[in-house]
Amino acid sequence: RLFKLTKDGKSWEDSLSLALKAMLLSPKFLFRLENQNEHGEATDQQADFSLASQLSFFLWGSVPDEELLALARNGNLRDVEVFRNQIGRLLKSPKARALADGFASQWLQTRNLINYRPAQGLLPSSESMQQETLFFFDYILREEKDVRDFIQADYTFMNSRLATFYGIDMRRVGEGFQKVSYGSLPRRGVLGHASFLTLTSDATRTSPVKRGKWVMENLLDSPLPPPPPGADSLDDQ
């Protein structure tokens, strides 16, 4: 099909451009599609391989390994106990960090920190703030902690730069990221992270409205309705 398109161009460059454009716009290039026949139906084995692919790309951000493929090939992956065991195996792998880097950074919006440029010396780097939250998410997931730890955990992950910012004795923290207790500091869970506080602030001041909106949308899955007609913004004073 692509080769036929090359015959429609007026020149070699034009023909090549048509073929490349068709390839790049194809759904098969843009998306990972489940294997289906001409009627849009998948065979049992195709469904097994699709399940292996979905699980691997979600938890690892990569293709299934040979063990997953073997289970799909033998039709065993759809067994509930086998499937749960595979989830546990994949989560124990270092590759599962992709779940934090992909899913968590999108859910908690830490990927947006790249757009922030804090004043020199006032805040940790955007990368440090993002990594704290991702390490925190990864730890709760791998260690099967209570989901409420996202809100009430009295620990976090920090490096020496974050420790200085939080007012924690740097002698307790090395250069790399490590689990550290807040102690008597009034910080708990992800809402105490510099990432969250930065994402929900204006350039020069905090914003309770932004923070409330973030909590409603990201933690409670309750988007706020639009403001009523005639509601004007407050004076910036």
Mean pLDDT, residues 185-189: 90
Whether 36 shows a pLDDT value over 70: the answer reads no
According to the model, what pLDDT value does residue 230 have? 75
Mean pLDDT for the chain overall:
84
Q: With pLDDT > 90 as the criterion, what percentage of the chain qualifies?
A: 32
According to the model, what pLDDT value does residue 18 have? 86
pLDDT class for 127, splitting at 50, 70, 90? Answer: confident
Whether 39 shows a pLDDT value over 60: the answer reads no
Whether 186 shows a pLDDT value over 60: the answer reads yes
Q: Which amino acid is at 31?
A: F
| CA distances (Å), origin 221, targets 46, 51, 113, 115, 180 | 34, 27, 21, 24, 29
| CA distances (Å), origin 133, targets 137, 150, 203, 217 | 6, 10, 21, 18
According to the model, what pLDDT value does residue 165 have? 86
Whether 40 shows a pLDDT value over 70: the answer reads no
pTM (predicted TM-score)? 0.72
- One-character DSSP codes across 50-76: HHHHHHHHHHTSS---HHHHHHHHHT-
Give the residue with greater pLDDT, 31 vs 140.
140
According to the model, what pLDDT value does residue 120 have? 54
Greatest mean pLDDT among 97-106, 108-117, 168-177: 97-106
According to the model, what pLDDT value does residue 137 have? 94
According to the model, what pLDDT value does residue 80 have? 92
